[in-house]
Amino acid sequence: MAPQSGRDIAPARGKLGVMLVGLGAVSTTFVAGVENVRRGTALPIGSLSQMGTIRLGKRTEKRSPKIKEFVPLADLKDLVFAAWDPIPDDAYAAAVKAGVLERHEHLEPIKDFLQVIKPLPAAFDQHYVKRLHGTNVKTGKNKRDLAEQLRQDIREFKKRSGADRLVMIWAASTEVFLTPGPAHQSLAAFEKAMEQNDPAIAPSMLYAYAALMENVPFANGAPNLTVDVPALERLAVDRTLPIGGKDFKTGQTMMKTVLAPAFKARMLGLAGWYSTNILGNRDGEVLDDPESFKTKEESKLGVLEYILQPDQYPELYGNVFHKVRINYYPPRGDNKEGWDNIDIFGWLGYPMQIKVDFLCRDSILAAPIVLDLALFFDLAQRARLSGIQEWLSFYFKSPQTAPGLYPEHDLFIQQTKLKNTLRWLMGADQITHLGIEYYEKA
């Protein structure tokens, strides 16, 4: 029997403004994709919020509505967009350059729509993204001043677009590796550090701060530290705002978080996992810089450690050699190739190998994630969920968690968590998969 009440959720009335940091391959593929879907020329494949269903009640009840019919999500027709980028190309020019979508089929017909999306000047500093040279950049007397300018952009976009609510998503380049330090521990320290132009404050943190100060949920699609610091986590909780990250889980890591749990479920051992990629888009170029790569590497390496729990299974996972490489290879553009060589062992220690060669399209995998995050973060805000949204770990390579909690990486546990959270929000029964009631009559 379903409980009577769920969470009070404000209706998705009016427009939802999606503010994208970065107007590169992922962002333009997302925006152009939404517009194609709205015009009925394509399907939102890969988007759980649009295509997915959710089972309610017992299997015998045969109730599985679409997620978007079960929870009150914003409708695609109500989305409006804005972006910042240090490169001044509008969304049409940027999409053509990114070379992801077929120009005549998916870009030319919506050229007018895309050309209107012109990037706002970015809070950008080459120190944090070495391989980029931007001209469409804000200037100010210090980092706090830049953050104030971002806040002004947010307010102006809201007014100009008539948006009722906003969400912000970082889909900009991966910044150099940073670790949390004194500047990130409290809001006072963070604000002082902005005023003193402390190098510990990366541009992405200015966007996150500006978003939260303007009551806008913030999701981080790259592995940068950004909103994963105590000062901003606290700010989000204090202002009842959802935040989350890091790093969209798309190709190789998605496969890793499917395969590794399977080995562990069957108690198969792992000797080594060698992952390499060739990638030729701008993201690949940025990641060719060792400092940006280090940020990505940390995000990609963490998953096996948490899934396999070597402390609990030393004979199986105590000595895993895990290597991740990303090689910038321009001829491939956005069409990444990710190879994995996996050395496993079974009964009595006999070795076996698995090879995965994933010829994927990076932004085609990422775009539906941006859409789902925009819609679910907006839902979370309307449901007054605050702080880290662990139920959206499903979308991240390196999910943020409350202090002291280890992240859950297994894709199917993440999916269960996501769907159970939707059931909980709507006051429906949790699905435990026990199923004994089908066999033992009361």
Ligand X SMILES: NC(=O)c1ccc[n+]([C@@H]2O[C@H](COP(=O)([O-])OP(=O)(O)OC[C@H]3O[C@@H](n4cnc5c(N)ncnc54)[C@H](O)[C@@H]3O)[C@@H](O)[C@H]2O)c1
Q: Name 436's Cβ contacts closer than 8 Å, sequence gap at least 6.
A: none
Provide the angle, in degrees to the nearest 10, between the axes of the packed helices 290-308 and 252-265: 20
SS3 category, 315: helix
Evaluate the omega torsion of the peptide bond into residue 246 and state whether it is cis, within 30 degrees of 0: yes
Binding mask 380-409 for ligand X (x = CB under 6 A): ------------------------------
Site residues for ligand X, 335-364, by CB under 6 A, read 362-363
Decide: is 365 part of the binding site for ligand X (CB under 6 A).
Answer: yes
Binding mask 225-264 for ligand X (x = CB under 6 A): ----------------------xx-xx-------------
In the chain, % helix, strand, coil (3-state, to 5) comes to 45, 15, 40
CB of 278 to ligand X, least distance (A): 14
Q: How many CB atoms lie within 10 A of CB 63?
A: 14
Between 171 and 379, whose beta carbon lies closer to ligand X? Answer: 171
Decide: is 371 part of the binding site for ligand X (CB under 6 A).
Answer: no
CB of 338 to ligand X, least distance (A): 10
End-to-end CA distance of the chain: 15
* Cα angle, residue 192 at apex, residues 186 and 197 outer, rounded to 5°: 120
Distance CA 226, CA 224 (A): 5
SS3 category, 275: strand
Piece of 30-38, 60-68, 78-86, 211-219 that binds ligand X (CB under 6 A): 78-86
CB of 201 to ligand X, least distance (A): 12
Count of chain residues binding ligand X (CB under 6 A): 37
CB of 221 to ligand X, least distance (A): 5
Between 221 and 302, whose beta carbon lies closer to ligand X? Answer: 221
Between 313 and 358, whose beta carbon lies closer to ligand X? Answer: 358
Query: Which of 12, 15, 22, 34 forms a contact with ligand X (CB under 6 A)?
Result: 22
Site residues for ligand X, 168-227, by CB under 6 A, read 171-174, 203, 221-222
Binding mask 115-154 for ligand X (x = CB under 6 A): -------xxx----x--x-x--------------------
Say if residues 16 and 167 touch (Cβ distance below 8 Å): yes
List strand residue ranges (DSSP E) for 175-301, in order: 218-220, 242-244, 269-279
Distance CA 200, CA 206 (A): 11
- C-alpha dihedral sign at 252, 257, 260, 263: negative
CB of 285 to ligand X, least distance (A): 7
Query: Which of 76, 82, 87, 307 forms a contact with ligand X (CB under 6 A)?
Result: 87
Between 2 and 45, whose beta carbon lies closer to ligand X? Answer: 45
Task: Give the residue nearest to ligand X (CB).
Answer: 24
Distance CA 255, CA 327 (A): 19
CB of 132 to ligand X, least distance (A): 5
Say if residues 405 and 414 touch (Cβ distance below 8 Å): no
CB of 235 to ligand X, least distance (A): 20
DSSP code, position 103 = I
Residues of the shown chain interacting with ligand X in the complex, contacts defined by CB under 6 A: 21-27, 84-87, 98, 122-124, 129, 132, 134, 171-174, 203, 221-222, 247-248, 250-251, 281-283, 286, 362-363, 365-366
